[in-house]
């Protein structure tokens, strides 16, 4: 207390007496002393020797800290409970694949976040069901076309007129090729394959060797081994489509592999006529064909090859670009990110 005053007998000599208004330590406590006479001093105990040791200051300090700390803790908790689930949902939306997995969004957090995640999961399920139903219907139609096409072929082969027979068989073959390519496009093995760490160089070398073995001028340029994230079967199919597209119009095709800071870069280079710039934005659309591109592209295929490639690269979280080769030809550049932006297995 600030009113703790008591008389203390001073037993020391005159030369050791404290000067009035001095601080002394008496019995282990700080005291403000005033001399009354030669033998007695008046000591005031309980006065803090610093301002921060004051009971009043302590009380104010604790209240101030509580006033600041409590709202801060509440704010941190609110941010954590709201932003963390939102961040997880945002990451899942940007990285996950609709076709794979049972639960895209983790239903965890506040009631509102759980409700949002559950609604998004239901929407994802509806989208996946719609895609599966559409794919199943198109696949069934394509299969059902085979039976009447077979009957038409048998009847055409029995015709006496050779010119008409040849023309009809050519048209039937054209339709059968379209059915086959459509079924290939609708295959779901690419979308269900999982990302994994694999030797990208080995995949590309295998594709090039398969073309070379049957006499096509396709060569590989790059490291003997390069590990990266990919879907090996899907990647092989994409590069095969690009090489197949190249050998139709070019004399030589080269598949080059390099490593950049952010991606494994694959360049499929040919020396053919190339693709006009206005058509490049649409060549990845299903069934799109440009008569003036690649020396009359409409006579070769049905416009599904590059569409399949684009879907596969998108499933890798990568990007694909078309550029001119010098002096002539086309360069198809595919970047597969070093760190997967879609969920690996």
Same domain, 126 and 34: no
Contact 44, 4 (CB under 8 A): yes
In CATH, what number is assigned to the domain containing residue 254?
A: 3.30.565.10
Same domain, 214 and 271: yes
Same domain, 39 and 57: no
Domain assignment of residue 273, yes or no: yes
Contact 189, 242 (CB under 8 A): no
Domain assignment of residue 104, yes or no: no
Same domain, 66 and 147: no
Same domain, 157 and 285: no
More confident residue, 298 or 252: 252
- 71 is in which domain, residue-wise? 53-95
- What whole-number distance in Å separates Cα of residue 111 and Cα of residue 126? 23
- What whole-number distance in Å separates Cα of residue 309 and Cα of residue 234? 9
Domain assignment of residue 208, yes or no: yes
Domain assignment of residue 103, yes or no: no
User: How high is the pLDDT of residue 242?
Assistant: 92
Same domain, 240 and 286: yes
- Quote the mean pLDDT of the chain: 77
Is residue 51 over pLDDT 90?
Answer: no
Contact 108, 92 (CB under 8 A): no
State mean pLDDT over 121-135. Answer: 83
Domain assignment of residue 268, yes or no: yes
Same domain, 80 and 66: yes
Domain assignment of residue 138, yes or no: yes
Prediction pTM value:
0.59
User: How high is the pLDDT of residue 226?
Assistant: 95
Task: Write out pLDDT tens, residues 159-190.
Answer: 888 888 888 888 888 888 778 777 776 765 55
User: How high is the pLDDT of residue 1?
Assistant: 33
User: How high is the pLDDT of residue 243?
Assistant: 93
User: How high is the pLDDT of residue 137?
Assistant: 83
When mean pLDDT is compared over 8-22, 25-39, 80-94, the highest value belongs to: 80-94
- What whole-number distance in Å separates Cα of residue 48 and Cα of residue 79? 42
Same domain, 315 and 278: yes
Same domain, 180 and 266: no
The count of domains in the chain is 4
Other beta carbons within 10 angstroms of residue 44's beta carbon come to 17
Same domain, 156 and 262: no
User: How high is the pLDDT of residue 4?
Assistant: 41
Is residue 270 over pLDDT 70?
Answer: yes
Among 186, 203, 227, the domain boundary falls at 186
Task: Write out pLDDT tens, residues 195-225.
Answer: 899 999 999 999 999 999 988 999 999 999 9
Same domain, 57 and 173: no
Domain assignment of residue 26, yes or no: yes
Half-sphere exposure of 111 (CA within 13 A, CB side): 0
User: How high is the pLDDT of residue 222?
Assistant: 94
Same domain, 68 and 135: no
Is residue 106 over pLDDT 90?
Answer: no
């Amino acid at each position: 207390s600030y009113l703790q005053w008591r008389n203390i007998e001073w037993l020391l000599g005159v030369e050791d007496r404290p000067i009035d208004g001095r601080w002394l330590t008496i019995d282990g406590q700080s005291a403000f002393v005033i001399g009354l006479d030669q033998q007695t001093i008046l000591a005031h105990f309980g006065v803090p020797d610093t301002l921060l040791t004051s009971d009043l200051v302590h009380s104010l300090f604790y209240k101030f800290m509580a006033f600041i700390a409590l709202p801060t803790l509440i704010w941190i908790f609110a941010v954590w409970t709201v932003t963390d689930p939102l961040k997880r949902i945002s990451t899942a939306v940007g990285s996950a694949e609709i076709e794979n997995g049972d639960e895209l969004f983790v239903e965890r957090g506040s009631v509102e976040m759980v409700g949002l995640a559950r609604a998004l999961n239901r929407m994802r399920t509806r989208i996946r069901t719609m895609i599966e139903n559409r794919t199943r219907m198109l696949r069934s139609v394509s299969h059902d076309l085979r039976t009447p096409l077979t009957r038409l072929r048998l009847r055409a082969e029995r015709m006496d007129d050779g010119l008409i027979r040849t023309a009809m068989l050519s048209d039937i073959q054209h339709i059968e090729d379209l059915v086959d390519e459509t079924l290939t496009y609708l295959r779901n093995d690419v979308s269900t394959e999982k990302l994994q760490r694999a030797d990208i160089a080995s995949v590309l070398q295998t594709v090039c060797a398969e073309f070379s073995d049957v006499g096509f001028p396709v060569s590989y340029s790059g490291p003997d081994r390069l590990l990266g994230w990919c879907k090996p079967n899907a990647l092989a199919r994409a590069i095969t489509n690009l090489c197949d597209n190249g050998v139709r119009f070019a004399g030589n095709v080269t598949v080059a592999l390099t490593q950049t800071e952010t991606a494994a870069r694959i360049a499929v280079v040919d020396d053919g006529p190339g693709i006009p710039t206005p058509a490049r934005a649409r060549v990845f659309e299903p069934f799109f064909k440009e008569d003036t591109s690649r020396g009359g592209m409409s006579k070769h295929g049905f416009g599904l090859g590059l569409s399949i490639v684009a879907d596969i690269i998108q499933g890798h979280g990568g990007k694909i670009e078309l550029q001119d080769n010098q002096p002539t030809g086309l360069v198809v550049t595919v970047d597969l990110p070093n760190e997967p932006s879609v969920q690996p297995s």
